[in-house]
Amino acid sequence: NARRLDQSLEGVALEKGSWTSYSACGIPYLVSGAVTGGVERLVARAPQAFRDDHRIDVRLRHEVTAVDLDAGRVEVRNHEHGRTFWLGFDHLHLGTGARPLRPDLPGIDLPSVHGVQTLGDAQHLLAHAADRSCSRVVVVGGGYIGLEMAEAFVTRGMAVTLVEGSDHVMRTR
C-alpha cells in the first residue's frame, strides 16, 4: 500500500521462521493426507516472488532482537549464519505475530504435545504422527482448526478425543 503512494520505497521483511505467505489453514489437510508433497505445498508465495513482483527483500530465519528508534535501526539475528547486525530504516512496521495461550500444566512441553501455528509445527506434528506407535490423539480446542485437526487424525485412522472448554464446539461469540 505504501508503494502505491511512493514508487521509490524499498522494503525489507524479516521473518524468524523458514516460510512466509503460507496457508496455515491448510495444515489439517496436510496432516490428513489430502495435501501431499510436504509443507512446501502450502506456501503461496516464496521470497523470490516478493522480490520479483513487489521489490520486497524477504529474509527468512532473520529475527529482530532490538529496536533503536533514535538511531532508526533494528538489531537483526541471522539464525542461518549465526551472526547479528544492525539494519537501518526510515519507517518501521512491527508484525509480531501471535502465540497461542498454553496452560501451565505438567508435561505441556513434552515431545508429544504439539501446536499447529506454523509450517514448522506441521513438520514436527507430521513426523510424530507418522510414527506407527501413535494411534490415539487428544485435540484441545473445538474451534475451526481443532475440529479440522480432529478430522485429519480420524482420516489417518487414529482414535481422537476432542476436549473443549465451553459448553459446545464451534463457539463463535
Q: Which residues belong to the active site?
A: 25
Give the separation between CA 14 and CA 64, rounded to whole angstroms: 7
Pairing of strands 56-60, 11-15: parallel
Q: CA torsion 160→121→92→10, rounded to 10°?
A: -120
DSSP label at 86? E
What nine digits make up the cell of 19? Answer: 516460510
Q: Print the SS3 string covering 130-154.
A: HCCCCCEEEEECCCHHHHHHHHHHH
